[in-house]
Structure formats: C-alpha cells, structure tokens
Amino acid sequence: MPQYVVRQLKDPGSNGLQQAQSHYEALQQDIHEKGYVQFGFFVGLFGLASNEFYLVTIGEDATDAIDQVLAGYGLDVKEHFLLAPTARPTVHEPLAKPGICVFRWFDVENKNVAQMADLSRQAWVTFESEFDCEPIALFAESDRTPDRGKMLLITWYRDLSVWEASRNPPNEARENFAKRHAMTIEAKPIATRLYLPGAAT
C-alpha cells in the first residue's frame, strides 16, 4: 500500500505563493526524479496563511529526499503527516480535476479508524448522488500504535456553493456522518483549491 505524505509548506520569503507557483513544473519534476508522485498542490482559500499551501505526495516510504528538494526552493515544512489510505483513494495517481478541495482533519481514537472509514463509505453513496462533489481521499496516520491519531478527509467540490449546499445532506448520509462525528474528538476543515497551471480559476 503506497504511503502518502501531506506537508504544510510556507514560503517565508513572500507574502503569497507566486514563487512556489512559478517553480511548480520544476518542483513536480524534481519530486518525480526522487521516485515520488505528486498527488496534489493545494493553494489555501480559508484556513491557511497567504504564503502557505499543502503538498501531497505518494511514495512507498518516507525519506528526507523531498524535504531537501523543497529547501532548495526556499520552502519551509511547517508540518508533515505520514498517512495511509482507508476507504479512498483506490487508484494512486495525481489529481487533475479543477475545483475546491476541503481538507477536514479529524483527531480520533485509532481503534475507531476502521469504523469511521466504513461509515464514510456508506454515507458517500447518497452524498455523491445528491451533490456535484467527490470524497477523493480518507487517510489515517500510518502509525496507529498510539491511542490517538489523525484522519484526513479530502473532498472535491465543483465550487463553494456546492460545499454550502452539501451542509444539508440526505437523511441516510446525515445519519452516518452523525455517527462518525460522535467518534471524532475534534475536527478542523480547511478550504483549498487544487492548483493546476492553465486551468480556469
């Protein structure tokens, strides 16, 4: 099973992401040459500073190789998480669909990870049929030996109006989401946009 690494990055030399975006293709190539796949480059809308973004990579193990590449571009790693897929994704390839991606971080008891993944899987059946959205990933920390850990849900929405409408999901989905919420210690959503050079924004 591939390992995913989510890094929250900061460009300390800028108040925005112009420099990181201008080096996007070179950075993507450098990541590929180190043997990793870039799952996505996510620019913050709400919840991240103007000079911060998420970089999600796929690889079989975690090394310092990508951190060294990032340092070469003047980017600081604020946080990083080693994650494993649960219910999704089942295909491990870069994201390519423009839209809003909401990162929802859950603090959980690791003993509940499997049940929370199953509740999510059941809820998505009616949730996805009702809205123009797609839960693209539900991760848990790779190391689940501690009592508590984190899960990360990344959901794609066509735009923020879809996200707002989806706050009122169908009854079946709502019931499963409520059960999942009951097992959540706390949750933190952060809205981002998948950065794709040349795509309409």
Q: List domains and CATH numbers for the chain.
A: 3-194 (3.30.70.100)
- DSSP code of residue 143: -
The pLDDT value given to residue 158: 97
127 Cβ contact list (under 8 Å, min separation 6): 133, 135, 166, 169, 170, 173
3 state SS of 168: coil
Residue 46, beta-bridge partner list = 191
Token pair of 150 as six digits? 């984190």
**pTM recorded for the entire structure:** 0.95
The pLDDT value given to residue 1: 77
Tokens 């809003």: give the residue.
Answer: 100
Listed as ranges, residues in the chain with pLDDT below 70 are 61-63, 199-201
Q: How far is CA 47 from CA 10, 32, 198, in A?
A: 13, 29, 24
The pLDDT value given to residue 198: 73
